[in-house]
């Protein structure tokens, strides 16, 4: 109100509408709001992937951190070991992606990488929903060295994907702990939200 930003709504209504939808998607799935903002900004509004990625990261700094507080305040079941080890892999993965890979990847390839992430997430959910009688757990059962390594490697790969599209580590961790470690979606979804919130704050510090 002080700077009369509301006067911009008639000509810039697309992004508030997109972020409203993105926040609903972020609340229901392991995808962050940037997963909605990125394709709209690149495929519909024809902005560069770099701008869309940075915008996605910034809006989720606020949104995911707020969700992190809500999850902890309401004492929602979380898989803290997946959060810790996934974040340990995601931070260096994002830094490698930003500084060593992103400058050499073209815009069309970044768009295809985002589409690939979404497709992988859809396939993971389809596989998950087909197995009605599978045994599920609230947390990872019998955490071992190979599971720790898997979580860190998954986080590292997800961090690289995030450097392209503003999201990715959430999908990777969600798919791994649900499909490979049989963790229930009710635990996996808030867990990935916390990972995104923690990792984005670290990116602001290191980036």
Range of the domain at 68: 5-206
pTM as predicted:
0.76
Distance, in Å, from the CA atom of 125 to the CA atom of 119, rounded to the nearest integer, reads: 10
Question: Are 114 and 169 a contacting pair, CB within 8 Å?
Answer: no
Q: Tokens 């900004």, residue?
A: 41
Mean pLDDT (whole number) for 134-154: 91
Residue 191 has pLDDT above 60, yes or no: yes
Say how far apart CA 167 and CA 195 lie, in whole Å.
11
Residue 205 has pLDDT above 60, yes or no: no
pLDDT of residue 192: 83
- The residue to which tokens 């599971």 are assigned: 147
At 92 the pLDDT is 92
pLDDT, average across residues 64-81: 81
Q: Is 143 exposed, middle or buried (0-12, 13-18, 19+ CB in 10 A)?
A: middle
* Cα 73 to chain centroid, rounded: 21
Q: Give me the pLDDT at residue 32, please.
A: 65
CB atoms within 10 A of CB 55: 18
d(CA 105, CA 50): 11
Task: Look at residue 152 in the predicted model and tell me its pLDDT.
Answer: 95
pLDDT at 167 over 60: yes
Segment 89-105 mean pLDDT? 88
Here the tokens at position 193 are 């939200």
Check residues 166 and 51 and name the one with the higher pLDDT.
51
Specify the number of domains making up the chain. 1
Average the pLDDT over 175-197 and give the result.
84
Q: DSSP letters along 111-131, please?
A: HHHHHHHHHHHHHHHHHHHH-
Dump pLDDT digits (tens) for 109-137: 888 888 887 788 788 778 877 777 778 88
The three-state secondary structure class of 137 is strand
Q: What does pLDDT average to over the chain?
A: 82
Residue that wins the pLDDT comparison between 143 and 26: 143
- pLDDT, residue 58, reads 80
Residue 137's φ and ψ, nearest 5 degrees, are -135, 155
On whether the CB atoms of residues 103 and 53 are closer than 8 A, the answer is: no
Region 164-181 average pLDDT? 85
Closest by CA position to 41, among listed 50, 30, 32, 29:
50
pLDDT of 198 over the 70 cut: no
pLDDT, mean of residues 186-193: 84
């Amino acid at each position: 109100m002080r700077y009369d930003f509301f006067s911009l709504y008639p000509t810039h209504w697309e992004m508030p509408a997109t972020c409203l939808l993105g926040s609903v998607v972020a609340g229901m799935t392991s995808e962050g709001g940037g997963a909605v903002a990125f394709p709209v900004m690149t495929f519909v509004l024809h902005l560069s992937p770099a701008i869309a990625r940075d915008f996605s990261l910034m809006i989720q700094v606020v949104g995911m951190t707020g969700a992190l507080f809500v999850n902890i305040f309401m004492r929602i079941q979380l898989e803290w070991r997946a959060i810790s080890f996934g974040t340990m892999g995601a931070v260096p993965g994002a830094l490698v992606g930003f500084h060593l890979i992103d400058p050499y990847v073209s815009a069309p390839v970044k768009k295809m990488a985002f589409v690939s992430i979404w497709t992988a997430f859809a396939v993971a959910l389809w596989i998950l929903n087909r197995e009605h009688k599978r045994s599920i757990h609230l947390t990872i059962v019998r955490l071992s060295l190979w599971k720790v390594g898997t979580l860190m490697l998954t986080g590292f790969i997800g961090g690289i994907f995030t450097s392209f599209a503003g999201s990715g580590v959430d999908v990777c961790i969600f798919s791994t702990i649900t499909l490979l470690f049989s963790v229930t979606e009710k635990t996996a979804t808030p867990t990935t939200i916390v990972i995104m919130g923690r990792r984005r704050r670290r990116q602001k510090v290191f980036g």
